[in-house]
């Protein structure tokens, strides 16, 4: 679940941000939004390996794409070296984040590769 919070910035300005807990599977062959875990955190798969912050940047890019935001509005703020990460989202409130994630989860529903009615060649990129 998304949690909204106020963040104090330089100069005493306060901005609204939303924090998400995300479980990341780096080095995946099929990057994307996998789903939600029982504790409400998101599960993401990224193709990049967990070396030199590459997987973290991929998480930021993927979430920005899913939430229709600029990458600069999405930052990994906790768990940089772990699979369980805290990600901060700027520019949306918690309700909008949850709504966009629900839409992304609904849009990713597709039959498994090789299931009846699915073109096998298209599913393998041939």
Q: How many residues does the chain have?
A: 126
pLDDT of residue 3: 59
Work out the pLDDT band at 16, boundaries 50, 70, 90.
confident
* In contact, 33 and 42? CB cutoff 8 Å: yes
pLDDT of residue 82: 96
| Separation of alpha carbons 47 and 54, rounded Å | 9
| Separation of alpha carbons 90 and 19, rounded Å | 9
Average pLDDT, whole number, for the chain?
Answer: 83
CATH homologous superfamily, domain 3-108: YggU-like (3.30.1200.10)
* In contact, 3 and 94? CB cutoff 8 Å: yes
Q: Where are the domains of the chain?
A: 3-108
| Separation of alpha carbons 91 and 119, rounded Å | 40
| Separation of alpha carbons 122 and 126, rounded Å | 6
Q: Indicate if the pLDDT at residue 36 is higher than 70.
A: yes
**Tokens for 16?**
């609204």
Pairing relationship of beta strands 42-45 and 14-25 according to DSSP bridges: parallel
Q: Indicate if the pLDDT at residue 110 is higher than 60.
A: no
């Amino acid at each position: 679940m998304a949690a909204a919070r106020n963040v104090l910035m330089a100069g005493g300005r306060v901005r609204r941000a939303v924090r998400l807990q995300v479980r990341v599977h780096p080095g995946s062959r099929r990057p994307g939004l996998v789903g939600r875990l029982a504790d409400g955190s998101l599960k993401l798969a990224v193709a990049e390996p967990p070396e030199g912050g590459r997987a973290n940047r991929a998480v930021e890019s993927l979430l920005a794409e899913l939430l229709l935001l600029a990458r600069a509005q999405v930052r990994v703020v906790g768990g940089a070296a772990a699979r369980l990460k805290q990600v901060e989202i700027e520019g949306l409130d918690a309700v909008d984040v949850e709504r966009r994630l629900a839409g992304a989860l609904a849009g990713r529903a597709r039959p498994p590769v090789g299931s009846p009615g699915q073109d096998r060649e298209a599913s393998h990129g041939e």
